[in-house]
Copies of this chain bind each other. A is one copy, B any other.
Amino acid sequence: MRPFRLEGKPARLSHFYPATVLVVGVSSAGRINFMPVVWHSALSFEPPLFGVWISPKRFTHEMLQSAPSFSVSMHPQEQWRQIHAIGTTSGRRVCKVKELGLSFRRGGELDVPILQGAYAAYELEKQSQIKTGDHDLFVGRLRALWEDESAFAGEALDPKAVSPLLYFGKYLYGRPCAQTMRPSEV
């Protein structure tokens, strides 16, 4: 392992990958849009907050400015081609739903579209928008959650039951191994 003194922009900022590829769904002014995100995190248990970082260059950013809510959904690796297509098509030029033939359901609590195929999803009420450098953090408060119960075992995702889509950077996708480790004392 050798150190590099960073001068300006790093060549890449993907050392912390793999990250799960989540899909943000938003509905605004009669339009529906979806975008995959890998810069995301839970932010708080109480209140339950979840956040995604989106560049102001993205059309989804524009839609999120006016929308009061958005969805975040979790998808299996089998859906990688569709999600890659969603990420490499701009909603500014075309309607992704029509162009890519996307199916979705409506949220149960909020007016948010949720991409079909998810094994879990959050319906999030937009709470704030925080600028961090060249991206904005959109903070959402969890108002409803969806889950495929068969994907979870003992309060954690079961990688034998579902294979979440992972991203390594530079359009390289993957998935977790089904084999896991857990300390015996737990």
Q: A15 to chain B: closest CB distance in Å?
A: 4
Q: Which of B22, B47, B154 contacts A133 (CB 8 A)?
A: B47
Q: How far is the CA of A182 from the CA of B43 in the complex (A)?
A: 31
Chain B neighbourhood of A14, CB < 8 A: 155-157
| Count of A interface residues, CB-CB < 8 Å | 86
Q: Which of B22, B80, B148, B171 contacts A16 (CB 8 A)?
A: B22
Q: Kindly state whether residue A119 has any CB partner on chain B within 8 Å.
A: yes
A1 & B148 in contact (Cβ 8 Å cutoff): yes
Most buried by B among A44, A108, A122, A176: A44
Q: A35 to chain B: closest CB distance in Å?
A: 15
CB contacts under 8 Å to B, within A1-37, are 1-6, 8-20, 22
B50 & A16 in contact (Cβ 8 Å cutoff): yes
Task: Annotate A130-166 by CB proximity to B: 1 below 8 A, 0 otherwise.
Answer: 1011110101001111111100101111010000101
- With known contacts A2-B147, A156-B170, A183–B81 Cβ distance under 8 A: yes
Residue of B nearest to A139 (CB): B132
Chain B neighbourhood of A174, CB < 8 A: 159, 176-177, 179-181
Residue of B nearest to A15 (CB): B120
Q: Kindly state whether residue A41 has any CB partner on chain B within 8 Å.
A: yes
Q: Kindly state whether residue A168 has any CB partner on chain B within 8 Å.
A: yes
Q: Kindly state whether residue A84 has any CB partner on chain B within 8 Å.
A: yes
A15 & B170 in contact (Cβ 8 Å cutoff): no
Q: Which of B19, B173, B176 contacts A182 (CB 8 A)?
A: B173
Chain B neighbourhood of A45, CB < 8 A: 9-10, 13, 133-135
Q: A2-B147, A154-B172 are in contact. List 8 more A-B contacts (CB 8 A).
A: A1-B147, A4-B146, A18-B159, A39-B41, A51-B132, A156-B168, A168-B180, A171-B183
